[in-house]
């Protein structure tokens, strides 16, 4: 029991620190006060657990860093949605001790926190999620198509990786520059042009790296193409899962749309590469 309570205490201490950091980042006074109230509740929960375990427990630095970094990059709502799930798990953990009145009281407060966070997330705009979506969508749609065309036209995995890497880096810089200019022209207070450009560029480059790796691991170009398409499908699934959680929208709809676009363009590019290969082969 003590071990379970220590784990629960660490979770509470971590969330307490996360709420404190999020409150410091939040510019809206009302939302900041909401986060601070929840932080004080979590701090009180930590004291109750400390009285039961007899130990001081430090927050998990990796989780705190992750939540704060995501809040800085994608906005507070992206993190609040994830913490809401943590609050539900914590509520269930306290409910395992129905004989402890103080734990039942904490469980009810955790339930209230989840409801407050759900409302809070709906009020907060995802400042940079559009920049991430732009980088990811463009990389998946454009780059899967380009790699599919390169695969059949060049038929050499290392050459495809080299050509794709050069193309991907140039495209990432171009997309970042376009996002910078577009955000700057909007002149809105919510998005900083340079940060938006970095989000778009880094997302594009990360996607490019994931899609190129199969061409460095396999000696057969078609095998590398198959693994690359599987990697693209995995990236689409993971992103759309988190996006649907944050936006409370249909996972299936976004997943199918992105998958059809990416694989449709890849199929067309593959066909173009095949035609060009036939044409150049006939010329020689």
> Using one digit for the tens of pLDDT, what is the confidence trace for 125-184?
556 667 777 777 778 877 887 888 888 778 899 999 999 899 889 988 988 898 888 888
Beta carbons within 10 angstroms of residue 209's beta carbon: 12
CB 80 within 8 A of CB 19: no
The domain spans of the chain are: 2-123, 129-283
Question: In this predicted model, what pLDDT tens digit does every residue of 51-107 receive, in sequence order?
Answer: 888 888 899 899 889 888 878 876 676 677 778 777 778 878 888 888 888 888 888
Question: In this predicted model, what pLDDT tens digit does every residue of 117-131 receive, in sequence order?
Answer: 777 765 555 566 677
> Looking at residue 217, what is its pLDDT?
92
Span of 2-6, 157-161, 173-177, 212-216 with lowest mean pLDDT = 2-6
Q: How far apart are CA 263 and CA 237, in angstroms?
A: 14
Q: How far apart are CA 110 and CA 131, in angstroms?
A: 33
First-to-last alpha carbon distance for the chain, in angstroms, is 77
Of residues 222 and 276, the one with the higher pLDDT is 222
Q: Please give the model's pTM, rounded to 2 decimal places.
A: 0.56
Q: How far apart are CA 110 and CA 138, in angstroms?
A: 40
CATH 1.20.1260 for domain 2-123 = yes
Q: Beta strands of 100-191 (E only): which ranges?
A: none
Q: How far apart are CA 62 and CA 74, in angstroms?
A: 18
CB 18 within 8 A of CB 71: no
Return the half-sphere exposure (C-beta side, CA atoms, 13 A cut-off) of residue 228: 36
User: CB pairs under 8 A, 24+ apart, for 17-23?
Assistant: 17/59, 17/64, 18/59, 18/63, 18/64, 18/67, 18/68, 18/79, 18/83, 21/64, 21/67, 21/68, 21/71, 22/67, 22/68, 22/71, 22/76, 22/79, 22/80
Contact residues for 238 (Cβ-Cβ < 8 A; gap 6+): none
């Amino acid at each position: 029991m003590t071990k379970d309570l220590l784990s629960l205490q660490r979770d509470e201490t971590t969330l307490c620190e996360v709420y404190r950091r999020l409150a410091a980042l939040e510019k809206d006074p009302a939302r900041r006060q909401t986060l601070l109230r929840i932080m004080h509740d979590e701090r009180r929960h930590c004291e109750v657990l400390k009285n039961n375990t007899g130990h001081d427990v430090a927050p998990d630095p990796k989780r705190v860093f992750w939540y704060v970094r995501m809040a800085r990059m994608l906005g507070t709502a992206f993190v609040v949605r994830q913490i809401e799930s943590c609050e539900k798990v914590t509520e269930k953990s306290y409910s395992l001790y129905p004989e402890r009145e103080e734990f039942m009281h904490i469980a009810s407060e955790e339930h209230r926190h989840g409801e407050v966070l759900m409302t809070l997330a709906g009020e907060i705009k995802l400042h940079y999620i559009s920049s991430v979506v732009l980088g990811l969508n463009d990389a998946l749609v454009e780059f899967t198509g380009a790699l599919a065309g390169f695969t059949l036209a060049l038929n050499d995995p290392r050459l495809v990786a080299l050509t794709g890497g050069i193309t991907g880096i140039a495209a990432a810089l171009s997309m970042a520059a376009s996002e910078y200019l577009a955000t700057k022209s909007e002149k809105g207070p919510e998005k900083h042009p340079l940060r938006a450009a970095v989000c778009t560029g880094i997302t594009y480059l990360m996607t490019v790296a994931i899609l190129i790796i199969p061409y460095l691991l396999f000696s057969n170009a078609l095998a590398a193409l198959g693994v690359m398409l599987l990697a693209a499908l995995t990236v689409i699934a993971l992103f759309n899962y988190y996006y649907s959680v944050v936006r409370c929208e249909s996972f299936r709809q976004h997943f199918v749309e992105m998958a059809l676009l990416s694989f449709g363009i890849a199929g067309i590019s593959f066909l173009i590469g095949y035609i060009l290969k036939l044409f150049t082969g006939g010329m020689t």
